[in-house]
Structure 1
Amino acid sequence: MPSTPWYRDGRLHFGAGIENTFVPQERPGERAIDEYALTEHYDRWSDDLDLAVSVDAEFLRWGIPWHVVSPEPGRWDWSWTDRVLDGFAERGLRPIVDLLHYGTPTWVEGEFTHPDYPRFVAEYAHRAAERYRDLATDYTPVNEPMLHALFSGEYAYWPPYRAGIEGLVEVSTAIARGFVLTQEAVAGVLGEAATFVHVDASMRYAGDIDAPEHRDTAHRYAHQAFLVEDLVTGRVGQDHPLLPVLRDNGMADETLAWFAENAVQPDVMGVNYYPRHSTELFEAGVHHVGGFADPRPTRDDGVGGLTEMLRTYAARYGAPVMLAETCVTDDVGTRLDWLDASVAAVEGLRSDGVDVVGYTWWPLFDMYEWTYRHSDLPRSAHLLTMGLHDLVETPDGLARRRNPVADRFAAHASRGAR
């Protein structure tokens, strides 16, 4: 008889994450982003795993750098990931593996819009699952797929630089098809041993959403926040609010039928919530397209927004939920306040019967803002003070310095383990 999955044991599981955004493509005025290189995780991975253990994290959300393991078509180099995943096992630390965290290898021309992208990503997923079948069973096929689609499809901010609603539909469809084939590939290797943690970003919209100039856009955004997850789980049917938009912008009925026939489901639905960023505001008389290039203002809705999002995802997808990323970028005292408040909110939801199974502080150590890509300033100018450990520039590279948030997190995690 198989053992009870970790997310069914009745406990609240505490973990952390290591930022693993990879956008390796470059062009004039745009640098590659590889967070493992920026934070020196490639060299310091062993110490970084020890940091996770030191705060009593049970799991670590961590990604395979696809562009590193597959530097050229048909060539695979697993040497670095072999060492790291062996390191997880040696420490008894559970990896929840991000297979896609924003970027593709540079040889995938057109990135998500390459006609063979779904096949490419499925082959990569199959090879990863086969190679690490004894080391990793928890997979996130795509981290934050709707942010992928917005940045690459509507905002023209990341490759392949599509723009507008038609671009959004094109990229959303491609990412969703790759998502389905990725999950099928991993399941084909691991069978019932596989756990699929789907993860998406909270996207809440408030303010002057009924202003005539915003009404249609705000309505669309409120529904499209769930679009990729709705596609992959077969929920885009004849009654879906976005169906007219999808059809008007290139999605064929045959494509919708394919998603319905090949639907995959989350074992755990991960929700990323950042109180200062997850609620965007529309302003009457002000046109914002959204995204980094023309951001809408945001509002901090605190634990109210957090509990709303966890309840919404639990009800919509009928799966256990976890807080897959949260933090505030601020001083230690402000981070401590949010840690305590967000843990209390999650525990309150559990008391109310919401099946919340995990809490993730993101990240384990500080990271560098994505604005690094469009800047010529040194990485230090883009440091985000978010972590349980500070990144500190030294003559020998980036040191990790434990801060009081790590101690408080460990106290919560220790209590949750009992």
Structure 2
Amino acid sequence: MKWFEDGALHFALGIEDTFVPQSRAGERPIDEYELTEHYEQVETDLGLAASVGAELLRWGVPWYRVAPTAETWDWSWTDRALDRFRELGLRPVVDLLHYGTPLWLDDQFANPDYPERMAEFASRFAERYGDVATDYTPVNEPMIHALFSGEYAYWPPYRSGPTGLASIASSLARGFVLTQQGIAEQLGDRATFVHVDAGMRYVGDTDAPEHRETVARLREQTFLVEDLVTGGVGDGHPLLAQLHRGGVTDALLAWFRDNAVRPDVMGVNYYPLHSTEVFEAGVHHGGGFADPRPFFDAGTDGLREVLTTYADRYGAPVMLTETCVTGSVEQRIAWMDESVAALHDLRGEGVPVVGYTWWPLFDMYEWTYRHSSSPRVDHLLTMGLYDLVETSGGHLDRRRTPVADRFHQHAVAGSRAEAPA
């Protein structure tokens, strides 16, 4: 029996692991592990996760550091980290790609060799650490990857528009499939795959003539990569014409159907303050960081909707793989209580919810750091169980807050919960 089959609600944490190492004029690299000093403090950080009752930790691998050249592999830091996972008995859910590629991979996700290179990295990791790491997310939030790199031209390789998105999404999806196949070859039935994407919702004047077509496209795009990797894109798919314009051939779509991979658990990331975008009649917003639409706090109503939608669409158990609010300790605790209660309610209604993840374990730095010259402190987001506090010497302390105590209470109660009738 795998961990998600025991009927309990499993509690997890995550460590923010965005890696976009490329730079150009006006943009600096962003590596959250470097910004938060996780490289230096990895052993104590993993200990913090275990100390508050987390059973699982969503944790990423800096591919660009592990593979500094196309033919070089440096596992020294990951060896340290995985040794600590073994020591603690903490279960990693490994984010193999949480944005960003190595510096030597020209054109990043648009490189024709990207899918095979990604699969090679994943297979090598699984072979080396398969005794302790059996749970994998092949690509975290592939649709956010595709939007930021393929539609918004915000991250490398800076493609734009719906056709750019289709091209990048299909490349990500092919790498996703090859990655899952490679891990399965290494680990066999021991492997568990937690697919993770962002829950995205659109409300407001969605029927306004100037928005109707865009909203219809965006609502379908939310599921595009997962539809591709699970073999769900064929004749009649509403985005078929967009895929064709983006260079996706019928032969490639047939390959996806012939090589379909399934999630053991379907993960959904949901942030009440950011996951629901608002359309306004007469107002155009392109979306994304450069031209954001207003957001609507949909609270637990939005959370219930996205989890139920993914459970129904893909026929797999679902897990809330990221949630939090940026705010005071009191605001963080309030959302934790509300969101945990919502998951228990869903389970009671028969929705197969198997996990809850507070993201992140400790604070992080906003992605706007990449497009700024300001010091990291100007981009701090207070989201974690532990606040990041910069000392006079420039060191980052992890300061425990009451949010950690509340998470521990929920985790202990969740481990004792009976399966819903």
Which TM-score tier does this pair reach, normalised by the shorter chain?
over 0.9
Q: Aligned letter for 1:297?
A: P
> Which residue number in structure 2 is paired with residue 406 of structure 1?
404
Per the alignment, residue 169 of structure 2 pairs with: 172
2:374 aligns with one of 377, 386, 389: 377
**Cα distance between partner residues in 2 of 1:375 and 1:246:** 34
CA RMSD of aligned residues (A): 0.7
Q: Quick one: distance in 1 between partners of 2:190 and 2:134?
A: 6
1:221 is aligned to 218
* Structure 2 counterpart of 1:85, one-letter code: L
Q: Distance between the aligned counterparts of 2:405 and 2:132, measured in 1?
A: 28
* 1:57 and 2:54 correspond: yes
Measure, in 2, the Cα distance between the counterparts of 1:362 and 1:335. Answer: 11
Q: Which amino acid aligns with 1:281?
A: V
Cα displacement string for residues 226-285 of structure 1 (whole angstroms, at most 9, x for unaligned residues): 000000000111121111222233221111111111100000000000000000011111
Select which of 321, 326, 338 maps to 1:324: 321
Paired residue for 1:69? 66
SS in 2 for 1:359: strand
Give 5+ residue unaligned stretches, structure 1: none
Aligned-partner residue type, residue 288 of structure 2: G
TM-score (norm 2): 0.98
Q: What TM-score results when the alignment is normalised by the length of structure 1?
A: 0.99
Give 1:53 deviation, angstroms: 1.1
Percent identity over paired residues: 68
Q: 1:197-346 counterparts in 2 under 5 A?
A: 197-346=194-343
Give the secondary structure class of the aligned counterpart of 2:11: strand
Offset at residue 128 of structure 1 (A): 0.3
Number of positions where the alignment pairs a residue of Structure 1 with one of Structure 2: 415
- Deviation string, structure 1 residues 184-215 (Cα, Å, up to 9, x no partner): 00001001000000000011011111111111
- In structure 1, what is the equivalent of residue 130 of structure 2? 133
Q: Secondary structure at the match of 1:308?
A: helix
Amino acid at match of 2:29: A
> Deviation of residue 97 (structure 1)?
0.3
| Residue of structure 2 aligned with 1:27, choices 24, 29, 34 | 24
Aligned counterpart for 1:83 among listed residues 80, 83, 86: 80
Q: Secondary structure of 1:417's partner?
A: helix
Decide whether the 8 Å contact of 2:167 with 2:243 is kept in 1. Answer: no
Query: How far, CA to CA, are the matches of 2:407 and 2:27 in structure 1?
Result: 36
Mapped to 2, the partners of 1:251 and 1:174 lie a distance apart of 9
Q: CA deviation at 1:135?
A: 1.4
SS in 2 for 1:124: helix
**Moved >3 Å (runs of 4+):** none
Q: Is the 8 A contact 2:163 2:242 kept in 1?
A: no
Q: Distance in 2 between matches of 1:197 and 1:168?
A: 23
1:105 to 89, 92, 102: 102
